[in-house]
Amino acid sequence: MIKNMFPFFLQILPIMKFVREFVINNPLCVCSDEIAAVKKDLIGEHDKMKLKQDSSHVLLKIVQEQYFMNLKIMVPDKYPLEQVSIEASESNFPNLLKVFFVGQAVEIARKCVQPPLKPNKKDPPFKPRVSLREVCEFLIKDCVKRYPLEICPCCKDRVMLRDPEEVAKDPRKRVERVYCGHLYHHGCLAKYMKTPPFKDGKFCPSCGKRIFHDKWKVTPELAEARWAHKQARERELAEVTDFLS
Model pLDDT for residues 53-75, shown as the tens digit of each residue: 888 999 999 999 999 999 999 99
Identify whether residues 39 and 110 lie together within a single domain. Answer: yes
Q: Which helix (H) or strand (E) holds 57?
A: strand 57-64
Task: Quote the CA–CA distance of 62 and 46 in Å, as a whole number.
Answer: 8
| pLDDT tier for residue 200 given thresholds of 50, 70 and 90 | confident
> 157 in a domain, yes or no?
no
Tell me what pLDDT residue 164 has: 83
> 155 in a domain, yes or no?
no
Identify whether residues 135 and 31 lie together within a single domain. Answer: yes
What mean pLDDT do residues 156-182 have? 82
CA within 13 Å, CB half, 99: 5
Domain residues for the domain of 68 are: 23-115+129-149
Task: Quote the CA–CA distance of 201 and 217 in Å, as a whole number.
Answer: 10
Q: Are 146 and 182 in contact (CB under 8 A)?
A: no
Domain count, the chain: 2
Q: What is the CATH number of the domain that holds 85?
A: 3.10.110.10
What mean pLDDT do residues 203-231 have? 77
Identify whether residues 53 and 134 lie together within a single domain. Answer: yes
Identify whether residues 133 and 201 lie together within a single domain. Answer: no
122, amino acid identity: K
What mean pLDDT do residues 220-243 have? 66
> 143 in a domain, yes or no?
yes
Identify whether residues 202 and 133 lie together within a single domain. Answer: no
Q: What is the mean pLDDT of the chain?
A: 83
Tell me what pLDDT residue 116 has: 87
Of 38, 69, 35, which is closest to residue 52 (Cα–Cα)? 35
Interval 71-97: pLDDT, tens: 999 999 899 999 999 999 899 998 889
Tell me what pLDDT residue 79 has: 92
> 12 in a domain, yes or no?
no
CA within 13 Å, CB half, 30: 23
* pLDDT above 90 for 143: yes
Identify whether residues 103 and 173 lie together within a single domain. Answer: no
What mean pLDDT do residues 201-224 have? 81
On whether the pTM is more than 0.85, the answer is no
> 2 in a domain, yes or no?
no
| pLDDT tier for residue 212 given thresholds of 50, 70 and 90 | confident
* pLDDT above 70 for 108: yes
Identify whether residues 141 and 109 lie together within a single domain. Answer: yes
> 87 in a domain, yes or no?
yes
Tell me what pLDDT residue 22 has: 41
Identify whether residues 144 and 213 lie together within a single domain. Answer: no
